[in-house]
Every structure is written in C-alpha cells, then in structure tokens.
A and B are shown apart, each in its own frame.
Chain A
Amino acid sequence: MKEPASDEAFVAFERVQKSYDGVTLVVKDLNLSIAKGEFLTMLGPSGSGKTTCLMMLAGFETATHGQIRLAGRDINDVPPHKRGIGMVFQNYALFPHMSVAENLAFPLEVRGIGKAEREAKIARALDMVKMGAFAGRRPAQLSGGQQQRIALARALVFEPELVLMDEPLGALDKQLREHMQFEIKHLADNLGITVVYVTHDQTEALTMSDRVAVFNDGVVQQLAPPDELYERPMNSFVARFIGENNALEGTVEQIAGGRCTVRLPDGSVIDAVPVNVSRPGERTRVSIRPERVEFRPERLQADAHTLEAEVLEFTYMGESFRARLRVAGTDEFVMKYRNAADQRRLRPGERLRIGWLPEDCRALDAA
C-alpha cells in the first residue's frame, strides 16, 4: 500500500450521497481518500453503487450531497471534459467511424495539440500497449483484446494523472483477462498514474490493487490492501464476497485478551478472534478460510479446540484437493489443502477431527 504523498489526498470523496429517484440512496455517505499513484479498486456486486461512484468522479453523474475533490480542487461543478480524467469504458467505446490513430488523436485534437506532437504522442501510446502496427485499422477490424489495448492507449494518450476503468476486462475470455490484468498493472506502475478501477471480479481486484474498497448496498464495507481484505475481513459480507469462506453460526461464550470462544448449535466450542462481537451471549458468525483448516493432528496446537467432521465429497483439483465436510450441523464446510508429496487423499465417509489456528478464525457479525 502506498501512503498519500501529502496530507491532502489526490482524490477525495467527502460525505457523498447519491439518489436517482429521491427515495432511495444508491450511495450512502461515502468517504474515501485515494493517494496519488495509487491503484484503487472498487469491488462489489452489481447495484452496490461502485459504478455510480466512478461516474460521479468522471462527472457523468452529479452527487446529490457531499463533495468530490481532485488534487485539492472541488470538482462537483466541473463538467467532464474539463476534469482531465482518462477513462476506459466497459465495452471500450472506441469510435467506430474513426481509425485507431484517429481515435487516439481525438483527445489531443480537442486539446489543440499540434499535428507533429500529436503523432509523436500517438506513436508512443500505441507502442506502450504494443499496438504500433494497428494505427490504420478500424476498431471493428480488431479482436477484443486489441480493442481493449487501444481503449487503454486512448485513455492514456493525453497523459491524465487519474485514469478510471469501468470493468475494462469484462468482455475478454479468462486467459486474456489474466494477461491484461498484469499489463494494466505494470502500465499503471510504470507511468505512476492514479487508477480507480471498478470490477465485480474479486480475483481481478486482489491481483491488481494497492487497496480495494468493497462496496455493498451503497456503503464501503471495508477499505484495505488485498491481503488484509482476504485474511482479516471486517464483516460477514466481506468474508463471504472475497474468496471462498466457511461460515459457522454460534453464540459468544466468553471474550478475553483478543480471543473468544464460540458455542456452535451442536454444543461444540471453538476459538476465534473477536472482530464484530463485544460481549458474551451475542450471536455471531465465525469465518474460516478453507485452506486454513487442518486435519492432521500433528499440525494442530495442542490446546486448540477441534471439531468432529465427516467427509462428504472429495475433489481432485490439480494443484490442490478440496473436500466437502459435514461439520457442526452444516454440510457445506469446505477444506482445501495443497497437493504435496506428504499429503493423503480423503475418501467420502471418512471421519476426521479438524481444527485451525485461533487467529485464522474470525467471529463476525451474525448478519
């Protein structure tokens, strides 16, 4: 994570609210600071308000309440074309009646940049995305991945300090998408630009971002670097939304010294880190990542609580194994472990005792 270069954030949302119909709020009281040079991803399910936030930043939507600042300047009343923000659209929005070079020339022409300088910048931008040979083509003559690169080059050619990307990889197939994730990330790092990236693909968010803002229901649920988001989710929604997650419902028995014990419906007791619980007797939902579940007794802490489990299903996944277990009354408990030389495969019907490190198990809100 990069810290803001100065006290003043490069992009700042301050108490921003947005309503389309005057009845419901799509964005509820958003406060968000983005540092210069940061790659920030807005992640969330559709309808969570992330795209609306992006559109407000771009200037295509106006905030119903609150302020949006860019480089210390209030931009609420600045029209989109004067904000100087580059943007990559979901379906690229390359102008179909212009060639690639003309598409790239467009932002330079409207800025009154001379022909020679324009051509130099276009050539540089095309080289940057390795599309130098395609300047004369029409967008329709390019593949999806090529169009994606051109859209990127067009958003960068006028050297904006802030680039917004609205699900730019959504239309590509998996392999190309993964490849482009790294290219975009490298470009952003090399150019030192600030990127606000919107996606509903959590893998994309985790692999590319300096920080991820998880949106749900118009509210930022958690704003954190990817590792923190994955390993220390602050609430049930984030735990559920990011990666695979086991959730067990229960009641807090006691809390002390950064640890708590939770009693599950079947009477068994487990250890957890209290996150959203404050007193005994509270309902909670504990979250454990499948790959942090351990079933070999020698790998468990001696005094840790363990649970009875029965293997329901075993799946071979290549680099790893995945087992679905019946644990504490739920049939959807998942355990994953690496396909290593010293590991054994499980058989359905096998009975085990499973456990985990208490710090990997987080007692979250019951919602």
Chain B
Amino acid sequence: MADMTVDRLPDGRAAPEGTTMLAADGTPLRVSLQRSLRRQKRRAFLLVAPLLAFILVFFALPIADMLFRSVDNHIVPETLPRTVEALAEDPDPVPGEPVFVALYEDLVVAEAYKRHTQLGTRLNYEMGGASSLLRGTGRAIGRIGTDVYADQFVAADPAFADPARWAAWMVDPAIRAALPETTDAYDAWARFTIEADNDDPAEEQPGDMVYAALWRDLAAGAQPPGLPAVDVSGWETPSIRELMIEAESGWGDPGIWSTLRTFSAPYTAGYYLAALDLRLSEDGIAPRPASERIYNALFLRTFVMSLLITGLCILLGYPVAFLLSTLPARTANLLMILVLLPFWTSLLVRTSAWKVLLQQQGVINDILVWAGLVADNARLVMINNQTGTIIAMTHILLPFMILPMYSVMKGIPPAYMRAARSLGANDWTAFWRVYFPQSIPGIGAGSILVFILAIGYYITPELVGGTRGVFISNRIAYHISSSLNWGLAAALGTILLVAVLILYWIYDRLVGIDNVKLGG
C-alpha cells in the first residue's frame, strides 16, 4: 500500500487517470464506498425479502412450471423405456417382435403402477383412440396368453414355480450374466412387486413376462449354471407381437407407432405446434386438417376484439377524462366516483347485469320493441355473441382507460390551451395541435392497460360470449379444467404471454415507454 499513497491528492483534486483515489484511511475509495453502501443494500434487500419470497413461491415458480409443462414429454420415454429404445432400431410401420416384447414388458410394469392411463391420455392429445387402446391393453395385459410359457416351465420342473428358488437364482452373478433378458424382466417384476403390490418377491411366483424372457434366453442358447436343465425344443411359443395385436387390434395400426416414434423424446414442440394449428408427424411439421383448426382463428379473434375494445374505450373514455380534468375539484370528484363505481361492484354482478339488459327478452330489446324501432319477432341478438362480449368488456375496462388519461390530462396546465388561443388558434386547432399531443401518454398508458387486460380476459367472454365471442383464455381454461391437457394450455398461455411482450416491445419502439404515464 505504501507505494499507492503517492496517488492521493490531499487538496481534493481528482487523481490523474490510471491511479486510484484513496479514502482517508488509505483504502481505495471505491472499496470504501462499496463497504459503506453494503449495509444500505442489505437493509433494502431485507425490506423486500418477504414480498420477493412470496412472488417467487406463488408466482414465479408456478409460471416456470407451466412453461416447463408446455414442452415436457417425459411420460412417454419414462413409461415405455424399452419400447422407445427398441423402436429406434425398427423402421417398419408396424414393428417386429423385439419392439412388441419391449412394449409388453413396459406395459406390464406401467399397469402395475397404473401409469398406462396417463400415457394413454398424453398420446390421445396427438392421436385419437390412443387412450382407449392403452386402457384396453392395460386391462388385458395380464391374460393375453403369455402364461403358456410359465405353464410349460413349471410342467418341466416344479422348481420353476418356487419363489424362493427364483430369488436365490437371481442373486447369482453367473446366472445373471448368462440370462440377460430374464434378469432384466425379473428385476422389473421384483421392483413393482415390492413398490406397487407391497409383496415380497421371495414369496410370490414371478410374472409371465419373466418366464417368456427365460424362454428367449434359453432359446438363444444360454447355458445358465445351477438352473434345472430343461429342453425347450418343441414347446408352444406364441409370438408376443401376435398376442398383443390379438388382444388390442390397435397395435397393428401404423398410426400409434408413428405417434410413438414422433413423441418418444423427453421434450417436444408438439404442444406449441398444436397451439398454432400445426401437427408434428414423422415427416415433419404439417398443418392440421381444416376441421381441427381453431387456435389461430381464436388468437386472431382475441387480438381483433381486444383492439376493438381498446379503441372503443379510447373513444368513450377520452371525452370523460377531458371533462374530469377541466371540472372544478368538487364536481370532478363526484364524477370520478361515478367512473369508479363499477370498480366497487363484483365483476360477476356487472356481467350478469349485461345479460339482463342485452338478452332478447331483456330490457333494451323491450324498450326498442315498445318504441316501435324493432319488430317483436325480430328482436336484436346482443348477447352470447361477439357484440355481447364487446359491449360488456368495454364497460368493464373503461375505468382502466379513464384513470391514466385523467391523471395525464390533469398534469397539462390550462395555460397551454390559452397560449395556443392567444397565438391565434381556434379551439379545435388549439386542442388538436397543443392539447392532444400532450395527452397521448395517457392514451398510451390506458391502451396498454386495457389491451393487456382484454387479451387475457376470461369471465366476461365466458358468460356473455356464447361460442362466437369467446377468447383464447376460455380455451386455456377449458384445457386446464376440462380436457386436462395442461401441456397445451401452457403452450397457449406462453404464446399469449410472448405476444403481449412483443406488442409491448413494438409499442416501446413506436411511442417510447417513457411516454407512458400513470400519474401526473
């Protein structure tokens, strides 16, 4: 440090470039400053820590989980590990015996853990009928005819029926080395016997798949030491491929195999493609059949209607905000209460009120009929369609437009308008050239707020939208609560989120986010 003290300039002038300013005690000034700020920073962090933890646990993590779900496909490779592996080496549309053997063993295990139905649900998103195929196979998997192998072994030597003997054989390294398939099948059987059935493998006779595996090992010429010698030639050896197809003819259909091949990886873009009305097949990405396309149209409708609602809110809100900002405080407060009144009423109540007003036997139609403007047999349809959604949502979101506009307009001094008029501008020119440009930040803030709220709106379109007036969020909710396709729901939600972020970015480029003011 001694050589550094020469850098210090006691008269307070800045040190020459390339040297370090030192604090009074000789430590570098930067270090000294950081030390003094550290305490402050720690305090600030502790103050926000509870909220940070809350947001992390209840907001950030669930969102991350949902994002993960939109690409997660672990259920296929984890439920069918052998099948996925065997399938990779078998290019036939309907694969051969080894793949079916793997599928048989995977499904026996999956059935024991009751995981095959979940797999069926997952595959059903990609291919109709996969769910019932897997359910049916699960029900039949214990009695598709593989028991002939066990029966023949037990008939050849009763020792093969003894659980204790089996347990002893399968811990012998020499036997395990000689009988790879049997070992694999026995280990899988033993694991689910313990985990799923809560039984002791040393007291239970092994399942049929173990005997089938043993036959395959012996037929391949294995010479296991210490096992009773059996001659397997001339035995009845049904093909597992045929037994499976016999039990559920769906396995003979190339469709399920193509689907399995496409969705065998632990991560998939399938949900996103589905959310964009595309599908992933073995040949690549292709559009879905026209009858299955709904999401693009729904996204488009959500955007267009949200834009329309935002536009209507600007048109209806601007004059009100202008009036509010010019009235004397007392009157303005009263009017502001009227603007805020909808905020204090339940969203559900307001939406239901619109139902009463807009329906064909409702108040507005009654008045129109009474006034003779509309014939009784030609009452207007204003609910359960897009009109209903637009009317109700414009009403509900209007305060979100008026409030930011009002706070910006409140900050525009009346002197500007006066100045413009004193300079020779008539009322309209003064408004358009001087007042309006300064109120744009309020319009921007209100529009962003209303548009982002509208694009994710759910309750109102659900209640008054019918089928033609629903938004993408209603579809997301459907997948979350009814179809239980959470992966697709997550993908749709992610697309919505990204779309909003992109729009926000575009807005920032065009208008500048600094220009958005929520308060004077």
**Cβ contacts B314-358/A at 8 Å (1 or 0 each):** 000000000000000000000000000000000000000000000
Which residues of chain A are within 8 angstroms of B434 by Cβ–Cβ distance?
95, 106
Measured CA separation A82–B422 after assembly (Å):
8
Measured CA separation A93–B416 after assembly (Å):
5
Measured CA separation A341–B42 after assembly (Å):
68
Which residues of chain B are within 8 angstroms of A60 by Cβ–Cβ distance?
418, 421
Which residues of chain B are within 8 angstroms of A87 by Cβ–Cβ distance?
418-419, 422-423
Which chain A residues (44-94) contact chain B, with CB distance < 8 Å? Answer: 58-60, 79-87, 89-91, 93-94
Which chain B residues (409-424) contact chain A, with CB distance < 8 Å? Answer: 413, 415-416, 418-424
Interface size on A, residues (CB 8 A): 28
Contact across chains for B422 and A85 when beta carbons are under 8 A apart: yes
With an 8 A cutoff between CB atoms, is A97 at the interface?
yes
Given contacts A91-B413, A95-B434, A97-B437, contact A107 B418 (CB under 8 A): no
With an 8 A cutoff between CB atoms, is A110 at the interface?
yes
Contact across chains for B424 and A93 when beta carbons are under 8 A apart: no
Measured CA separation A89–B420 after assembly (Å):
11
Measured CA separation A104–B425 after assembly (Å):
13
With an 8 A cutoff between CB atoms, is B438 at the interface?
yes
Most buried by B among A89, A95, A96, A111: A95
With an 8 A cutoff between CB atoms, is B429 at the interface?
yes
With an 8 A cutoff between CB atoms, is A154 at the interface?
yes
- Distance from B443 Cβ to chain A, minimum over Cβ atoms (Å): 14
- Distance from A286 Cβ to chain B, minimum over Cβ atoms (Å): 44
Task: Provide the main secondary structure of the chain B interface.
Answer: helix
Given contacts A95-B434, A106-B433, A110-B429, contact A80 B422 (CB under 8 A): yes
**Cβ contacts A145-156/B at 8 Å (1 or 0 each):** 000000000110
- Distance from A88 Cβ to chain B, minimum over Cβ atoms (Å): 9
With an 8 A cutoff between CB atoms, is B426 at the interface?
yes
Measured CA separation A87–B415 after assembly (Å):
11
Measured CA separation A59–B427 after assembly (Å):
13
Measured CA separation A195–B228 after assembly (Å):
125
Which residues of chain A are within 8 angstroms of B419 by Cβ–Cβ distance?
87, 89, 93-95
Q: Which of A80, A86, A95, A155 contacts B421 (CB 8 A)?
A: A80
Which residues of chain A are within 8 angstroms of B425 by Cβ–Cβ distance?
81, 106-107, 110
- Distance from B425 Cβ to chain A, minimum over Cβ atoms (Å): 5
Measured CA separation A107–B424 after assembly (Å):
6
With an 8 A cutoff between CB atoms, is A39 at the interface?
no
Q: Which of B413, B416, B423 contacts A110 (CB 8 A)?
A: B423
Which residues of chain A are within 8 angstroms of B420 by Cβ–Cβ distance?
95, 106
Measured CA separation A158–B420 after assembly (Å):
13
- Distance from A84 Cβ to chain B, minimum over Cβ atoms (Å): 7
Contact across chains for B418 and A89 when beta carbons are under 8 A apart: yes
**Cβ contacts B386-429/A at 8 Å (1 or 0 each):** 00000000000000000000000000010110111111111101
Task: Provide the main secondary structure of the chain A interface.
Answer: loop
Which chain A residues (93-151) contact chain B, with CB distance < 8 Å? Answer: 93-97, 106-107, 110-111
Contact across chains for B424 and A84 when beta carbons are under 8 A apart: yes
- Distance from A62 Cβ to chain B, minimum over Cβ atoms (Å): 14
- Distance from B429 Cβ to chain A, minimum over Cβ atoms (Å): 6
Contact across chains for B437 and A81 when beta carbons are under 8 A apart: no
Measured CA separation A94–B438 after assembly (Å):
12
Q: Which of B416, B423, B429 contacts A158 (CB 8 A)?
A: B423
The chain B residue sitting closest to A96, CB to CB, is B438
- Distance from A108 Cβ to chain B, minimum over Cβ atoms (Å): 9
**Cβ contacts A274-304/B at 8 Å (1 or 0 each):** 0000000000000000000000000000000
Which residues of chain A are within 8 angstroms of B433 by Cβ–Cβ distance?
106
- Distance from B390 Cβ to chain A, minimum over Cβ atoms (Å): 33
Which residues of chain B are within 8 angstroms of A93 by Cβ–Cβ distance?
413, 415-416, 418-419
Contact across chains for A81 and B424 when beta carbons are under 8 A apart: yes
Given contacts A93-B418, A95-B416, contact A154 B423 (CB under 8 A): yes
Contact across chains for B422 and A81 when beta carbons are under 8 A apart: yes
Measured CA separation A96–B438 after assembly (Å):
8
The chain B residue sitting closest to A89, CB to CB, is B415
- Distance from A30 Cβ to chain B, minimum over Cβ atoms (Å): 21
Most buried by A among B416, B418, B423, B434: B423
Which residues of chain B are within 8 angstroms of A86 by Cβ–Cβ distance?
422-423
Which residues of chain A are within 8 angstroms of B429 by Cβ–Cβ distance?
110
- Distance from B50 Cβ to chain A, minimum over Cβ atoms (Å): 40
Which residues of chain B are within 8 angstroms of A59 by Cβ–Cβ distance?
421-422
Contact across chains for B438 and A81 when beta carbons are under 8 A apart: no
The chain B residue sitting closest to A55, CB to CB, is B418
Measured CA separation A155–B420 after assembly (Å):
11
Contact across chains for A80 and B415 when beta carbons are under 8 A apart: no
Contact across chains for A58 and B424 when beta carbons are under 8 A apart: no
Measured CA separation A95–B430 after assembly (Å):
11
Measured CA separation A154–B422 after assembly (Å):
11
The chain B residue sitting closest to A91, CB to CB, is B415
Give 13 pairs: A residue, B residue, CB < 8 Å, sorted on A. A60-B418, A81-B423, A81-B424, A81-B430, A85-B422, A93-B416, A94-B419, A95-B434, A95-B438, A96-B438, A106-B423, A110-B425, A111-B424
Contacts A95-B420, A110-B423 aside, 19 further interface pairs with beta carbons under 8 A come to A60-B418, A60-B421, A81-B421, A81-B422, A81-B424, A83-B422, A85-B422, A87-B418, A87-B422, A89-B419, A91-B413, A93-B415, A95-B434, A106-B434, A107-B424, A107-B425, A110-B424, A154-B423, A158-B424
| Interface, chain B (partner A; CB < 8 A) | 413, 415-416, 418-427, 429-430, 433-434, 437-438
